[in-house]
Amino acid sequence: MEKPIEKLTDKPVFRKLRGYAFDPSFSSTVDKRQSNEVIYKVRWEEELKPGPSGEYIEIVDYDPTTECFYEQIDLNDPYVLADNGLPLSEGDPRFHQQQVYAVVMSIIAQFEKALSRKIIWSRIVDKNMGNTEFVNQFVPKLRIYPHALRQQNAYYSPSKLALLFGYFQASEQWEGNNVPGSAIFTCLSPDIVAHEVTHAILDSLHPYLRKDTNRDMLAFHEGFADIIALLQRFTFQNVVEDQLRISRGDLMSSHNFLGDLALQFGQAISGNRRALRSFLVETLPDGSTQLVKPDPTKYRDIKDPHERGGLLVAAIFDAFVRLYRFKTFDLIRLASGGTGILEKGEIHPDLVRRLAAEARGIADKLMLTCIRALDYSPPVGLNFGDYLRALITADVEHNPEDEEGLRFALLESFRSWGIVPDDLVSYSVAQLMWKPPSANGGPKRAIEALEKAFKYIFDTESAHLGVMEHMEKILRSNTREEIFMLSGFLSARVHDMLMGKFAINESQLERSLGMCFDDINYSFQDETFKVPIKLKAHRRPVFQVYKCRPLIRYNSRDGYAYKILIITFLQKVYIDLRKSPYEEFFNESASSRRGADQKPKYMFDFRGGATLILDLSDFKIKYIIMKDITSSARLQKHLKYALDRDSNESNSALLMQNEEPFAALHIH
């Protein structure tokens, strides 16, 4: 009797795909050729369609210049499967699709690992009327166009929820390793692809960080995207080993790894991207390179978003180098017979392997911490100082012991680059990390009232209308659309419940969340007009709860799983600029660019709110990371920034008002 054929194995965990680790031009230097081909291990998608089109992304290879659709790759074709995907090819569009898919899915996996939750795309449709100012719409797939433009540009489009990659002829001069006149495809550069998809993911987590309300906001988007792109290069053991072999284990030598990384980072895309390099590496008169020495005055003086973004990248990589030195000192001492100075010539392959493992480990931890810090960031008005606080808090939460020395490295590097939060009493971990609201000396009664309200909404005994079931379902579900819908329901419940509480509570409960439902009076001494200013926002008791997401987190110290809830609150008020020195100015400049907006020109948008983290085991509030809507100092800074920006038309920041903010930021 014939036996039915049994499947030999379960379905694979990963799909292995060949791809470039660096820009294709990198292969043209012989000593680096081998390390440029790597195998991306992408989470297995059972339902992957040709395109590829999977759960998160859909690659649409339409080329508007030639008006044609290129043939789609089918990654489930047996020949393609058996051979780890198509071989590397600059000329085959199907390989381009494979490369983009591999990089984008790898980055998404990094974010999901760090955040312990699925990435969900959504689009904010601005209704701008009454209570429903926006509708948050689920978008199943990010669309990716590998050959969308005949331009030296690539960008993320928030309105289309798409990534658009250009291609172009390389310049006629020999520049770097590019052959003059040959076609360069931005979609083949892992740096550029990683950078663009990071913009999209960051926007899905924090849609209001795209608003250009202070000098650091756009810079943060750019810098953060570069940090993720640079760190993801340390994923591949063979690449890191090759580089460390060439540089003899030194991240700082004249032929150094980081220098090399930075120098050819987006070599093909010149212009704006050069700003990044200039903060990491400088070329000396003899042609060698060295890491740039930190200069704390730059954070105070530099205005251009790319250059400021470069400062953030430099601070993170400074921390990287400090950690690498600290963690490899013993290995170098062992290998050098105690002197700490290695002999001339190639270093031992065993040492290369160990050093590479350390470098990868550090890169991995840094990347996880950089991503997790997003959960400890305020929803609006972020500055680099806030981000440093978020980094430190994220690290304390996840690695309470700091055996690695990670947060001290971050502390030192940010200080040496002059990036410190305002009004800090002393520069220490205890001072920098966000405090629980009880330790802030805040209104105790309000916090207790809030905790009571949350207990009422979420606790099993008193919870009603399926709140508890919805929360359990979110924790169980693997379907992104279901999670999105359930989370929207929870947001609505929290909103309605608190709205009721705010209405009856005399202690102005909303104030502990950075909001205010009464008339707000602002007053400050203006620097530009040298007069005392008094401004008013009329009572507007409207707020949004735009995220409400339960999560399970693991603490590395005790190994326990914790259930927390992250809720984001936002309020917008309109500041009346009439009879103030600002009136005339904003009237004129605003009229030229706010065509569709029916709001009177003298009304200036101002937002406040908070990210709240609740411990679900006892309904205690762990953190309220807040931007106070009643803060005169913050309003003053925001107005001054808007004035500076509008008076300088060439400032690329102004382009954020456009439909395609990132297109404008990236082009040069």
To the nearest whole angstrom, how small is the minimum distance from the Cβ of residue 55 to Zn ion?
25
What does the block give as tokens for 99? 């490369």
Q: 94-133: which residues touch Zn ion (CB under 5 A)?
A: none
Could you write out the DSSP letters of every residue in 448-516?
HHHHHHHHHHH-TTT--TTHHHHHHHHHH---HHHHHHHHHHHHHHHHHHHHHHHHH-TT-GGGGGT--
Report how far residue 323's alpha carbon sits from residue 336's, in angstroms, rounded to the nearest whole number: 20
- # of chain residues touching Zn ion (CB under 5 A): 2
SS (H, E, C) 579-646: CCCHHHHHHHHHHCCCCCCCCCCCEEEEEEEEEEEEECCCCEEEEEEEECCCCHHHHHHHHHHHHHHH
Nearer to Zn ion, 85 or 310 (CB): 310
Q: Stretches 63-71, 223-231, 311-319, 572-580: which one binds Zn ion (CB under 5 A)?
A: 223-231
Judged by beta carbon, residue 225 or residue 291, the one nearer Zn ion is: 225
CB of 67 to Zn ion, least distance (A): 28
- Judged by CB under 5 A, the stretch of 224-232, 270-278, 577-585, 589-597 that binds Zn ion is 224-232
Round the CA-based radius of gyration of the chain to a whole number and report it.
Answer: 26
Least distance from Zn ion to the Cβ atom of residue 282, Å: 23
DSSP state of 32: G
Rounded Cα distance, 21 and 34, in Å: 10
> Which positions from 225 to 254 touch Zn ion by CB under 5 A, shown as an x/- string?
x-----------------------------
User: Which of 198, 144, 188, 145 is closest to 22 using CA atoms?
Assistant: 188
The sign one gets for the Cα dihedral 85, 88, 92, 95 is positive
Specify the residue, 103 or 225, whose C-beta has the smaller distance to Zn ion: 225
Tell me which stretch binds Zn ion (CB under 5 A): 129-137, 220-228, 446-454, 649-657: 220-228
Query: Rounded to an integer, what is the distance from CA 485 to the centroid of its chain?
Result: 24
Sign of dihedral through CA atoms 87, 92, 94, 98? positive
Least distance in angstroms from the C-beta of 156 to Zn ion: 7
Q: Which segment (214-222, 231-239, 401-409, 444-452) binds Zn ion by CB under 5 A?
A: 214-222
CA–CA dist 461, 455 (Å, integer): 9
Q: Which two tokens stand for residue 575?
A: 């500041």
Cβ proximity to Zn ion: between 128 and 270 the closer is: 270
Q: Contact, 219 vs 308, CB < 8 A?
A: yes
Q: Which helix (H) or strand (E) holds 412?
A: helix 406-416
Q: Between residues 229 and 453, which has the closer beta carbon with respect to Zn ion? A: 229
Token output for 597: 């907006």
**Nearer to Zn ion (CB atom), residue 276 or residue 453:** 276
Could you tell me the smallest distance in angstroms from the CB atom of residue 199 to Zn ion?
A: 5
Please state the closest distance from residue 388 (CB atom) to Zn ion, in A.
21
Looking at the Cβ atoms of 151 and 238, the one nearer to Zn ion is 151
Q: How far is the CB of 225 from Zn ion (least distance, A)?
A: 5
Q: Tell me whether residue 225 or residue 409 sits nearer to Zn ion (CB atom).
A: 225
Q: Taking the complex as a whole, how short is the minimal distance between the CB of residue 565 and Zn ion, in angstroms?
A: 31
State yes or no: cis peptide before 294, omega within 30 of 0: no
CA distance linking residue 334 with residue 2, whole number of Å: 62
- 273 or 547: whose CB is closer to Zn ion? 273
Instruction: Determine the interface stretch with Zn ion among 95-103, 171-179, 217-225, 357-365 (rule: CB under 5 A).
Output: 217-225
Least gap, CB of 380 to Zn ion (angstroms) = 20
Residue 324 CB, nearest approach to Zn ion (Å): 27
Please choose, out of 123-131, 216-224, 357-365, 520-528, the segment that lies near Zn ion by the rule CB under 5 A: 216-224
- Comparing CB distances to Zn ion, the nearer of 225 and 230 is 225
- Shortest separation between residue 170's beta carbon and Zn ion, angstroms: 21
Site for Zn ion in 308-337 (CB under 5 A): none
Whats the size of the chain, residue-wise?
A: 668
**Which residue, 227 or 494, has its beta carbon nearer to Zn ion?**
227
Candidates 160-168, 219-227, 268-276, 526-534 — which segment interacts with Zn ion by CB under 5 A? 219-227
Q: Show the DSSP H helices in 206-283 as ranges.
A: 217-231, 237-246, 257-263, 274-280
With 0-12 CB in 10 A as exposed, 13-18 as middle and 19+ as buried, what is 82? exposed
Tell me how far apart the alpha carbons of residues 92 and 188 are, in angstroms, rounded to a whole number: 11
| Contacts to Zn ion from residues 16-35, by CB under 5 A | none
Residues binding Zn ion (CB under 5 A): 222, 225
